[in-house]
Chains A and B, each alone.
Chain A
Amino acid sequence: MFSGGYTGRFIRINLTDRTVKKEKINPEWQKKFLGARGLAARYYYDEIGKETKPLSPQNKLIFFTGPLTGSPGPSTTKIGLSTKSPETRQYLCSNGGGYFGPHLKKAGYDGIIIEGKATQPVYILIKDNDIQIKDGKELWGKTTFEINKIFKEEVGREDQVLSCGPSAENGVVLSCIQIGERSMGRGGAGAVMASKNLKAIAVKGTGEVPVSEPEKFKEVAKKAVDYVKKTKANHTKYGTVQYTAVMNEFGAYPTRNFQTGVFEGIDTIRAEYMKEHYFVKNQACFRCPVACSQLCEVKEGPFKGAKTDPEYETIGTLGAMCGVSDFAAIIKGNEICDELGIDTMSVGVIIAFAMEIFERGYITKEDTGGLELKFGNGKAMVKMIEKIVRREDIGDLLAEGMLGIAEKKPELQYYLMHVKGLPLAAYDPRGFYGNALTYGTSSRGACHNVGGWSIRDELISGEYDRFAVKGKGKLIKSLQDTRGYIDSLGLCTVVRSGYGFTNKPKGKILEYLTGYDFTPELMTIGERIYTMERLILNREGRFRKDDMIPERLRTEKMPEGQAKGHVVSDKIYNQMLDDYYKVRGWDKEGRPTKERLEKLGINDLV
């Protein structure tokens, strides 16, 4: 069916039996679900049951590249993952960049499924046809930075190496997977990896990704590079940090655990300040002309030597969310998170929770091991990350994530800012009502990406008003469906419009790549993937009650800024949710109807 893009096969590794198999992918699945997120979700649907416990040997790590991964176009860097999350105890989709995905494809495989559990720590080495499960006892306990250095020798680059860190080894449910310095950040996939005694996967591929019509492909790819260079200059210059001061101006920049949307310390965490005081150089993922990663270094003070590439979200969650305006502390915190393998976003929001309950007197210095865990204390924020990784003092409770904390301390639930167990991102829905639906209905829990990033459309489209409900159901569905197919291509989202990948996709690059013209079907594929994810969520017991946003956002009026006085009340939120379910063709409990499943060609799944 396809003459390029895909290799058509994947590796299945069983760590219990220590077996390696190569399996063919059903081309009907590639046609219907594209790749990466979509394909990983389809395999999850069949292979991970509702009773499967996230940190048990029955859980699986399902990695798939997209057709574009590794192909000769800009930013064809991505690999997708599905697994059951220990943080949310349900379906997780995640993705990462670097060079891992492209090299896996060049080695001859579209994906890897890892199942079972090794009796001792192991690592996996893939070099073209040679796939080995090797003894990893000496690697256990090492940081991801150490792992990167060790395997760089073996395979060529640090970001051809995928690993989990000490945080995952301690069963911290927020633990991430690192790909070099990039992350498959959210949902605790790192903890799943460690629960299988799998420390690292390193890959080197020397082949080339097949392209059906190489000349035509290269022509479109060149146009994409030109377009991206012209339109993404701010991404190169400032990275995602460019939005920090802007979101603060909109009054939707979560500060001190969503107590307000305006951060008074904004001037020392904004893009210009970062560039003037900390910026070292840009870094690029595979074939990327943007190189949005802003490598920063702390040159003096208590965090001297800390080096990392902070993103908008990390600065939001370790910074304003915790009331911290010391950019050096944010860099240090970010570096520790990458090094020890823990999600910067979840950890930031959880520390913000801990700061709030400390300030309100629910916990004391006895619980924090002597730390003055108040908002704005950058040093305490940094030390708290380490305590969570090591499960020290209250870090042990926080390491259980939002759901774990809620179980042990139900009286403090009001201060836990999450949906389905995944902490919110650095946008406040009281400033953009559609953002509430984004968080509430995202397939993996509160996620501004998977849930459909609505800020621009709500701000500038003549069809919407950011402080109104009209049309938000249709808007969020469209954004989610678009993201559904884009996450399944193997492409970095930053460059998507260069290729014609919007909510009205155009162009023939996928036909030039695979021999099949996917373009007219892309939005349907996106909707199909999203709806299939919803079937999984229903199967795992997630319905309307789980699509609720935190009580604080429904009851506390924004105290200041552009969104002053606004609140996404129960009435407003339920109105938007009803509208969304209607547009999606789901019933009032959030279950896809038979009609919609038939229309999408997935009624065979129920």
Chain B
Amino acid sequence: MKIKVKYFLEYARLSGCRDEEYFFENDELVSVKEVFKNLNSKYNIKYNDVANKGIILVNNRSITQLDMENTVLRDGDKLIIMPMISGG
């Protein structure tokens, strides 16, 4: 299965790109935790860092409104990694 990952600001800098596709050969679904294992080894983007200082969205919903690191992604799903927002 394949998912799309989108990066913003410092995460785009760490990954060197704004978006890319990830293939998981032997899986039909994969958890956010597992995707981050990849991101950590490839780009040094750690789940704990992002969960504390940033926002992780699966299909446009924050994982804090889903199942946190156990949130599941299926074929065609989208993961977004961005810094925390504060405005006004």
Stretch in A127-135, A140-148, A452-460, A549-557 touching the partner: A452-460
Flag A427-468 by CB within 8 Å of B: 1 or 0 each: 000000000000000000000110011011001111001000
Contact between A462 and B64 (Cβ–Cβ < 8 Å)?
yes
Shortest B32–chain A CB gap in Å is 14
* Chain B CB within 8 A of A540 CB: no
Contact between B64 and A242 (Cβ–Cβ < 8 Å)?
no
Across-interface contacts of B84 in A (CB, < 8 A): 456
Contacts A234-B9, A245-B8, A271-B9 given; indicate if A453 touches B88 (C-beta within 8 A).
yes
Contact between B65 and A460 (Cβ–Cβ < 8 Å)?
yes
Name the residue of chain B whose CB is nearest to the CB of A245. Answer: B8
Interchain CA distance A453-B85 in the complex, whole Å: 11
Shortest A452–chain B CB gap in Å is 8
Contact between B87 and A238 (Cβ–Cβ < 8 Å)?
no
Interchain CA distance A459-B65 in the complex, whole Å: 8
* Chain B CB within 8 A of A312 CB: yes
The A interface, classified by DSSP as helix, strand, loop or mixed, is helix
Size band of the A side of the interface?
20 to 34
Interchain CA distance A95-B12 in the complex, whole Å: 35
Name the residue of chain B whose CB is nearest to the CB of A459. Answer: B62
Contacts A234-B9, A238-B9 given; indicate if A461 touches B64 (C-beta within 8 A).
yes
> Which of B6, B83, B85 gathers most chain A CB within 10 Å?
B85
**Which of A238, A242, A448, A562 is B88 in contact with, Cβ under 8 Å?**
A448
List CB contacts (< 8 Å) of A450-507 with chain B: 452-453, 455-456, 459-462, 465, 483, 493
* Chain B CB within 8 A of A246 CB: yes
Shortest B76–chain A CB gap in Å is 16
Name the residue of chain B whose CB is nearest to the CB of A486. Answer: B88
> Which of B8, B62, B65, B86 gathers most chain A CB within 10 Å?
B86
Name the residue of chain A whose CB is nearest to the CB of B80. Answer: A249
Across-interface contacts of A250 in B (CB, < 8 A): 60
* Chain A CB within 8 A of B55 CB: yes
* Chain A CB within 8 A of B75 CB: no
Contact between A242 and B9 (Cβ–Cβ < 8 Å)?
yes
* Chain A CB within 8 A of B82 CB: yes
Contact between A249 and B8 (Cβ–Cβ < 8 Å)?
yes
Contacts A249-B80, A271-B9 given; indicate if A243 touches B88 (C-beta within 8 A).
no
Contact between A456 and B85 (Cβ–Cβ < 8 Å)?
yes
Across-interface contacts of B60 in A (CB, < 8 A): 250, 562
Contact between A459 and B87 (Cβ–Cβ < 8 Å)?
no
* Chain B CB within 8 A of A524 CB: no
> Which of B12, B60, B64 gathers most chain A CB within 10 Å?
B60
Interchain CA distance A460-B80 in the complex, whole Å: 13
Shortest A420–chain B CB gap in Å is 18
Across-interface contacts of A272 in B (CB, < 8 A): 9, 12
Flag A213-247 by CB within 8 Å of B: 1 or 0 each: 00000000000000000010010001010110110
Shortest A339–chain B CB gap in Å is 26
Flag B2-40 by CB within 8 Å of A: 1 or 0 each: 000010111010000000000000000000000000000
Across-interface contacts of A493 in B (CB, < 8 A): 88
**Which of B9, B53, B87 is A456 in contact with, Cβ under 8 Å?**
B87
Across-interface contacts of B83 in A (CB, < 8 A): 234, 242
22 contacts between A and B (CB under 8 A): A234-B9, A234-B10, A240-B87, A242-B83, A243-B85, A245-B8, A246-B8, A246-B82, A246-B85, A249-B6, A249-B80, A249-B82, A312-B87, A453-B87, A455-B85, A455-B87, A459-B55, A460-B62, A460-B65, A461-B64, A462-B65, A562-B60
Given contacts A234-B10, A312-B87, 18 further A-B contacts (CB under 8 A): A231-B53, A234-B9, A234-B83, A242-B83, A246-B8, A246-B82, A249-B6, A271-B9, A272-B12, A449-B88, A452-B88, A453-B88, A455-B87, A456-B87, A459-B62, A459-B85, A460-B55, A562-B60
